[in-house]
Amino acid sequence: MKNSFWKNKKVFITGHTGFKGSWLVLILNHLGAKVSGYALNPISKPNFFDNLKLSKFLENDFRADIKNFSKLNKAIKKSKPNIIFHLAAQSSVLVSYKNPEDTIKTNIIGTFNLLKAIKFNKNVKSAIIVTTDKVYLNEDKKINFDENSKLGGHDIYSSSKACCEIVTESFVKSFIDRDKCKIATVRSGNCIGGGDWTEDRIIKDCIEAFIHKKSLLIRSPNSTRPWQHVLEPICGYLKLAEKLLSKNGIKFTGSWNFGPSKINLSVLNLAKLGKKIFNSESKIIIEKKSIKKHEAKYLSLDSKKSLKYLKWKVYLKPEVSLKLTFDWFKIFYANRKNSKKVIEFTISQFENFKKVIKYF
């Protein structure tokens, strides 16, 4: 990737106050883009966006609901972006059991609103709609899903995201002039990385136990997950956005997997590794009662298309991704009053990652 590509590019991010959105704001700003964001206020305390004072890196910081088309459309009109990254979503499987209706409205109507706003704002030349690896119908048959695998979902989060894929495809076919605006959808695995304090995610539980010297309760100790560092998909999205704006941009529209295919680290081993990095004496306790929800035992993506056309693949081993994640939190808690230092550290993780990957 030519770093100069992003210089002065006008970028609009929905969901910029969330975990992935915050990384994207910082990286795009670092690469010289002019970034605007549209999202609700961050929920967790602490959170990446507020604690690192990321608002100062934005041209516009809109706080409104993605379900409100009029506000969204006005925000895009005012920001005049060339490129949009759509990340705003109800992003939790567990919350989708507790609040299915809001999950459906935020994820499906929200995506529809965004597409409608793109149609009305002719300066938008490309957009990346972020869905998930959970869009595939997973019947635990140990297959690696590629972009043509059947869509589906056992839970409302997954089905809402599968719907985003279908709605995007039909909206593009029906209403978008594909010579003028190029739209792609992207599906990544479970992301880990600094700055994620989202409820029900193992990293947050580990960090809180190690920092506050409490016992760490874990469920499903032997489950393995497609852990990948957040920098992996984010750099893939950036590369794809660059390609969408190239002369052959139309070839890069459609859907893209950005997920790991090898899953080899269990929840228990992840917790043990974190404990070692934090030099923690917290006890790891395996919780007996589990919440009743469908959980795929095996989820793996075939990302050969991204490798072939974007030279994208997962470069970091799970152990390295975890070390980067726990290192970030160590720096954060050691510098709670010094956001500049944490930002410098975050950018250094991005710069070091750039040296490892071959497609930049």
Ligand X SMILES: NC(=O)c1ccc[n+]([C@@H]2O[C@H](COP(=O)([O-])OP(=O)(O)OC[C@H]3O[C@@H](n4cnc5c(N)ncnc54)[C@H](O)[C@@H]3O)[C@@H](O)[C@H]2O)c1
The residues that bridge with 13 in the sheet, in sequence order, are: 37, 85
Find out whether the peptide bond into 226 is cis, omega within 30 degrees of 0. no
- Residue 95 Cβ vs ligand X, minimum distance, rounded to whole Å: 9
CA atoms within 13 A on the CB side of 93: 18
Instruction: Indicate the DSSP class of residue 62.
Output: E
- Residue 90 Cβ vs ligand X, minimum distance, rounded to whole Å: 5
- Residue 296 Cβ vs ligand X, minimum distance, rounded to whole Å: 14
Site for ligand X in 64-83 (CB under 6 A): 65-67
Query: Does 198 interact with ligand X (rule: CB under 6 A)?
Result: yes
Which two tokens mark 51? 């604690």
Query: Does 229 interact with ligand X (rule: CB under 6 A)?
Result: no
- Of 206 and 280, the one with the shorter C-beta distance to ligand X is 206
Site string for ligand X, 150-189 (x = CB under 6 A): --------------------------------------x-
Contacting ligand X (CB under 6 A), which of 96, 132, 224, 255?
Answer: 132
Name the CA radius of gyration of the chain, rounded. 19
Is 44 exposed, middle or buried (CB count within 10 Å of its CB: 0-12, 13-18, 19+)?
Answer: middle
CA of residue 93 relative to chain centroid, distance = 14
Distances (CA, A) of 184 to 15, 171, 172, 237, 344: 17, 12, 10, 10, 31
- Of 19 and 329, the one with the shorter C-beta distance to ligand X is 19
Where do we find the tokens 């190029």?
182
Contact 32, 204 (CB under 8 A): no
Query: Does 296 interact with ligand X (rule: CB under 6 A)?
Result: no
Compute the distance between CA of residue 101 and CA of residue 142 in angstroms, rounded to an integer: 31
CB-nearest residue to ligand X: 18
- Of 234 and 282, the one with the shorter C-beta distance to ligand X is 234
The residues that bridge with 144 in the sheet, in sequence order, are: 300
Query: Does 88 interact with ligand X (rule: CB under 6 A)?
Result: yes
Site string for ligand X, 23-42 (x = CB under 6 A): ----------------xx--
Contacting ligand X (CB under 6 A), which of 90, 257, 280, 349?
Answer: 90
Site string for ligand X, 100-119 (x = CB under 6 A): ------x-------------
- Residue 103 Cβ vs ligand X, minimum distance, rounded to whole Å: 9
Contact 108, 164 (CB under 8 A): yes
Compute the distance between CA of residue 351 and CA of residue 345 in angstroms, rounded to an integer: 10
Q: Which stretch binds ligand X (CB under 6 A): 59-67, 169-177, 300-308, 318-326?
A: 59-67
Q: What does the binding site for ligand X look like in residue numbers (CB under 6 A)?
A: 15-21, 39-40, 65-67, 87-91, 106, 130, 132, 188, 190-191, 198
